[in-house]
């Protein structure tokens, strides 16, 4: 995975710290063109991975990337599913049959409906899961999706039910069907890592809140560290600024020094904020890489002394 990923919360009016800021962002990004401009800024800054929901607007973004491959060279999607509001809205607007036609993969309606009927009659959770994943992935046909995520609303429900085998089924299915790795959003990283280990999902990709304030970190900072040490995982840190509660430099310096954090995802609304955040991550990553060149009590090596002051 890339070290730096770009998220989509700001495009859809999601801010866990300020409802007013969320409203302003939602208004700003009503036009998909404004979103595309920001995504181009991220791509130009070297951020090629876009972590997103399966909101209808993301479908329009996917259409743009398909239509202009040269403009979006290297850009790929990290979709998270399901997006529950999308289904509810579609049923309201189109009715049940209209919603089915919209979401079920083209040419596969009979097969999908057959699988769905058998799943409901046989209470086959894996078949239901496969059907829903196929429906969600329809918008990304022909595009790069190296990791497919289960959103935390489902991940944590499965976790609470103790149905850990579903995690393994999801991971196996996205690998087989989409040649992708499975990822899991969660609000309880310590419990999820234990559950994934018990299900045989080794070194999983997990996205969770990780920040110096311990904001929305179930189990706390030490709980995260202990769980990651016991059950190795590839952790993607989100909400690293605690929704604006931590100064950028302070937030990035702290999170880049958490050894279990493999990647950092952030959202931004402007080119300047994107470039500043990317620069901070690279700066503190470089400092962390250089640090082992010295030992306690030693003078800094020439390599460290000569490092540029960014």
In a domain, 262, yes or no: yes
pLDDT digits (tens, 9 = 90+) for 130-140: 888 998 999 99
Q: How far apart are CA 81 and CA 169, in angstroms?
A: 15
pLDDT digits (tens, 9 = 90+) for 238-278: 999 998 889 999 999 999 999 999 999 999 999 999 999 99
In a domain, 127, yes or no: no
Lowest mean pLDDT among 105-109, 191-195, 206-210, 273-277: 105-109
Lowest mean pLDDT among 72-86, 112-126, 213-227: 112-126
Higher pLDDT, 189 or 110: 189
**Residue 206 contacts residue 236 (beta carbons within 8 Å):** yes
Range among 11-25, 101-115, 272-286, 292-306 rated most confident: 272-286
In a domain, 109, yes or no: no
Residues 6+ apart with CB under 8 A from 51: 5, 6, 7, 8, 78, 80, 149, 207, 236, 265
Please count the structural domains in the chain. Answer: 1
Residues 6+ apart with CB under 8 A from 183: 78, 80, 147, 148, 149, 150, 204, 205, 206, 207, 236
- Percentage of the residues of the chain whose pLDDT score is greater than 70: 75
CA dihedral 273, 275, 276, 280 (to 10 degrees): 140
Range among 8-12, 126-130, 137-141 rated most confident: 137-141
In a domain, 154, yes or no: yes
Region 36-54: mean pLDDT is 97
In a domain, 149, yes or no: yes
In a domain, 141, yes or no: yes
Question: What pLDDT score was predicted for residue 120?
Answer: 47
User: pLDDT confidence of 13, banded at 50, 70, 90?
Assistant: low
User: pLDDT confidence of 220, banded at 50, 70, 90?
Assistant: very high
Question: What pLDDT score was predicted for residue 303?
Answer: 32
User: What's the gap between Cα 151 and its chain centre?
Assistant: 9
In a domain, 188, yes or no: yes
Higher pLDDT, 223 or 89: 223
- Give the range of the structural domain holding residue 79, as residue numbers without chain letter: 4-95+133-290
User: pLDDT confidence of 304, banded at 50, 70, 90?
Assistant: very low
pLDDT over 70 (residue 94) = no
Q: Tokens 């208004």 belong to which residue?
A: 27
pLDDT over 80 (residue 191) = yes
In a domain, 210, yes or no: yes
The CATH code of the domain that includes 20 is: 3.20.20.100
Q: How far apart are CA 46 and CA 77, in angstroms?
A: 15
């Amino acid at each position: 995975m890339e070290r730096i990923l770009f998220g989509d919360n700001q495009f859809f009016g999601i801010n866990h710290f300020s409802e007013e800021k969320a409203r302003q962002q939602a208004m700003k990004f009503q036009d998909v063109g404004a979103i595309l401009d920001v995504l181009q800024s991220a791509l130009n800054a070297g951020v090629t991975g876009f972590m997103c929901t399966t909101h209808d607007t993301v479908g329009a973004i996917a259409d743009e990337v398909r239509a202009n491959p040269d403009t979006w060279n290297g850009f790929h999607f990290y979709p998270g599913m399901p997006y529950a509001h999308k289904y509810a809205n579609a049923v309201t607007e189109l009715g049940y049959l209209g919603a089915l036609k919209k979401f079920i993969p083209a040419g596969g309606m009979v097969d999908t409906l057959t699988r769905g009927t058998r799943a409901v009659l046989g209470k086959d959770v894996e078949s239901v899961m496969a059907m829903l994943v196929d429906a969600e992935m329809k918008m990304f046909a022909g595009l790069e999706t190296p990791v497919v995520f289960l959103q935390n609303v489902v991940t944590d429900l499965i976790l609470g039910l103790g149905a850990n085998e579903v995690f393994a089924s999801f991971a196996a299915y996205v690998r087989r069907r989409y040649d992708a790795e499975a990822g899991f959003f969660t609000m309880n990283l310590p419990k999820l890592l234990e559950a994934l280990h018990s299900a045989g999902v080794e070194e999983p990709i997990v996205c969770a809140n990780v920040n110096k304030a311990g904001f929305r970190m179930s189990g706390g900072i030490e709980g995260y560290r202990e769980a990651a040490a016991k059950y190795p995982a590839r952790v993607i840190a989100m909400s690293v600024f605690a929704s604006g509660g931590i100064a950028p430099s302070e937030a990035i310096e702290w999170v880049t020094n958490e050894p279990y954090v493999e990647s950092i995802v952030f959202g931004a609304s402007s080119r300047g904020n994107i470039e500043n955040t990317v620069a901070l991550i690279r700066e503190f990553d470089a400092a962390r890489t250089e640090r082992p060149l010295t030992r306690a009590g030693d003078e800094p090596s020439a390599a460290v002394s000569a490092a540029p002051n960014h």
